[in-house]
Structure 1
Amino acid sequence: MRYLFLLCTICSFTLCASSTNAQQTAADFFNEGVTKSNAKDYTGALQAFTSAIILNPENAPSYYNRALAKISLNDIQGSNLDLDIALDLNPSDANAYLYRGLNRTRQEDFRGAMQDFNRAIELSPNDALLYYQRGLCRLQINYINSALSDFNKAAALAPTDVNILTARGNCKMQLNDNKGALADYSLALEKSPNKTQALAGRGYARYKIDDLKGAMNDFNRALEISKDDAELYYRRGLVKGRLGDFANAVLDFDKTISLAPNHFKALFSRGFCKSRLDSPKQAVADIDKSIEMGNLTTQTKAYYSEFITASTLPLLNSVVQDRYKVTELAEDRSDAYLVRGILRNSTGEGKSALQDLNRAVELSPTNAEAYFVRGVVRSSLGDQRGSLIDCNSTIKLNPRHPEAYYLRGVIRYDSGDEQNACVDLSRAGELGYVQAYKIITEKCNTQRPTAMR
């Protein structure tokens, strides 16, 4: 993937004698963001670009580069929000369409990704990577012939690119053009002899055309490079089974299942081989499992209160207890109730703490911190709805309260509102609460590999 932190766009911040001090500061923050991005300090880069945006909200490159920083932090949804703005400000940026398309691919929004790749190609029709990525996207929605056309165009523009050749080989395999796929894989391996995907692809193509010796050689080489790849053991097991070496095939299927316990195809193949080794009961057991596992219906997401507890622990253990400092007690004594509530909660007196916090809110209804602390305590007591209301109040009073966005995002995710949850978590990270990126990485992205160039 091309991380093009557009140094050339810095010229949009060129300072002249008439530039205001705010523009100079925006330029400084932008340059700092580029420097930190290049040094792989993506959290620091994100903060710098955010500062540049605050001071100059009409500069598309700031949003674009912040989007790239968010990609590196696995904040895909947040990245898309920035790319949306960047494209509103600069609709002719092919790279912005490319990265939004890649993000949408990771989110399995393949049709949305297709639209972005189409637009990027209109803007930059000689970029092989764009055709390549659109081809991968088309494969995902079973437009196989159209995908092949894209890979052919990409290969014409970049005839030695091993990723393109390997992808075209995979596409040809789906079209049962095993010999054509074999040629592409072989050409890719001439350029990159240790490319595991090409070795695996060629091995499988050879298996399909009954070149079992050649297939064994390819899978053996691939496994020397990638020793923990379950699919490689599975496919080598298929070759061994075809050769009649059922005992060693079972060993490969055993390894597959140990690495990928839900690999129902390996269970079936192991059962078949065991049937040939006069172990009918074991064979039936494996095949039964493969049928049961292969027909599992999609289940609704279970509710785990542990997720909220674990995710809000940093708030309870540090943020709430350390962030609030009283310099002088006001006449309404709301701060006294607030601090006592914090202390009572820290000693396990959650219900008493809530009473104090209710009183603090009554006495000081415009104090964002009082609502936030009460929201944390309510969440710890299982009142997620009440906590969500308090987060909303906090954000209404203080739109730059990072922990409130974080807590609201956690609660929303747990309740099934994943899209808005990830937007909240992204905003929390933007505002400096970096703990949000751990949950973003674990929960907000569909992990699907995309090719890199």
Structure 2
Amino acid sequence: MKTLRVLLILLCIGFDAFSQQAEPSPFQLAQEAFGQQRWEEALPLLDLWIQGHPTDQEAYWMRGQAHQNESKLEEALGDFSSLLTLNPQFAEAYFERGRVRYQLGHYEPAIEDFENFLKTPPGETNRVLYKVTPGSKGVSEVTTLQTVSAEQAYYHLGLCSIELGEYDFAILYLDEAIALDPEEPDFYAEKGRALARLGDNVPAIEAYELALSLNPDHLPAKQGLALVKTGGDEVLLGQLDQVVAEGSGNAQTYKQRGFYRMSHDQDQGAISDFGLAISLDPDDSESYFYRGKTYSRQKKWKEAEADYSAAISLEPENPEYLLARGQSRYVSGQLEEALADFTQTVVLDPDFASGYYHRGITYQRMNRKPEACRELQKAIDLGMEAAVGVWEKVCKQD
């Protein structure tokens, strides 16, 4: 009987111990809620756990992200800062705190965090970062990563530099990101934004188009491309006017305002602005190119050709500049000179459909039909739809 009583007591003790073992801790419950992205449910559990375990690094890590995803940015900032006080080598925390600081508009401290992240060896490979968008700043969405990578840090450094108006630095950082991951459209879209802010519209357009070639539905790239092609919005014009009025305008200011005016049919103002830009920076080929385009619109072919030639002398391997001068020469009747320019465009870029098209119409005007048809067919083969109608008119057999 005594033996039976002992066995029953042991069984009861064992059951109680099993029950105690089976009951999950607040941290385990928080982990489950966190893994299922139930942030609101995870937060009080983590609060309770941290009260009794104030040095638990993973708890601060999880709570910081839960706060972040609940848009409680100040609380998230406190969590990541506490974590980094406990462990200054927690690399991912620098990255996350940098993102929070970016969203709060603390750009310089955010830059320090991203730079510290790049200098700190990565931690555990199974830490998950959840998607957080930078807010209403009109920039691309931040990618979800299983482990944070250097290209994302460079990308965020670029974003911070754009907000600080340090566009040259932004382009350098974004180029680093592109070198590490050339398939990410966000990187090209933000580079386009930085270039557009500098007034470097041709490379900005190229960057936006590269972003769209990777993702045709990339909204920031679509919006940025539309703004650049129309010279920017009226808010930008007001800012440029204010800078000029304050006497602090530089070559880029005048070039950017000139581009806006050119895009809105304000030809005389555009020519004046491009002239001021050239006087301040005579080595910027774009200012000559844009002034040449404005002169061409006014049918001032001599002035246009002179500006295009100046642009070409500064950037002799730019097919767009050669095409523009060739077009100006074509409409003014200088067919041999125009043909030479169009020929040079396809020498520089054998896939430049517009170069073949313009060679074709120049040959046709020179009554050299076989050469015209050959060039037009080449333009069609490269996907230029405008060449089809001309080919059918000139080359199709009756």
TM-score, normalized by length of structure 2?
Answer: 0.46
Q: Which has the larger radius of gyration?
A: 2
Structure number with greater CO (CA < 8 Å, separation at least 6) is 1
